[in-house]
Amino acid sequence: MGQGKQELVIPVPGIFSSRETDWGLESVSHYPILAVTTGILIQLVIKTDKNSQPRILKCLLSDPGFQMSSLEFLLGKHQDVKVVEDTKASKDFLADKKNKPFSFLNYEEVNDEEKENIKTLVAYLDEQKKEFTQQTEEIKEEDLCTICYANQISAIFAPCGHQSCKSCIRQQMMSKKECFFCKVVVTSVKDFQGQVILTNPGAGNKLPHGHKH
The domain that holds 179 is classified in CATH as: 3.30.40.10
pLDDT tens-digit map of 1-22: 344 433 333 333 333 333 343 4
pLDDT mean across residues, the chain: 75
The whole-number average pLDDT for the span 164-177 is 90
User: Are 132 and 187 in the same domain?
Assistant: no
User: Are 42 and 126 in the same domain?
Assistant: yes
Task: Report the candidate in 78, 190, 194, 61 with the shortest Cα–Cα distance to residue 132.
Answer: 61
Residue after which a domain boundary falls, among 138, 161, 176: 138
- Which residues pair with residue 157 across a beta bridge? 189
pLDDT tens-digit map of 142-168: 888 999 887 889 999 999 999 999 989
Is 38 exposed, middle or buried (CB count within 10 Å of its CB: 0-12, 13-18, 19+)?
buried
Is 65 exposed, middle or buried (CB count within 10 Å of its CB: 0-12, 13-18, 19+)?
exposed
pTM of the full predicted structure? 0.50
Q: How confident is the model at residue 203 (pLDDT cuts 50, 70, 90)?
A: confident
Residue 49 is predicted with a pLDDT of 85
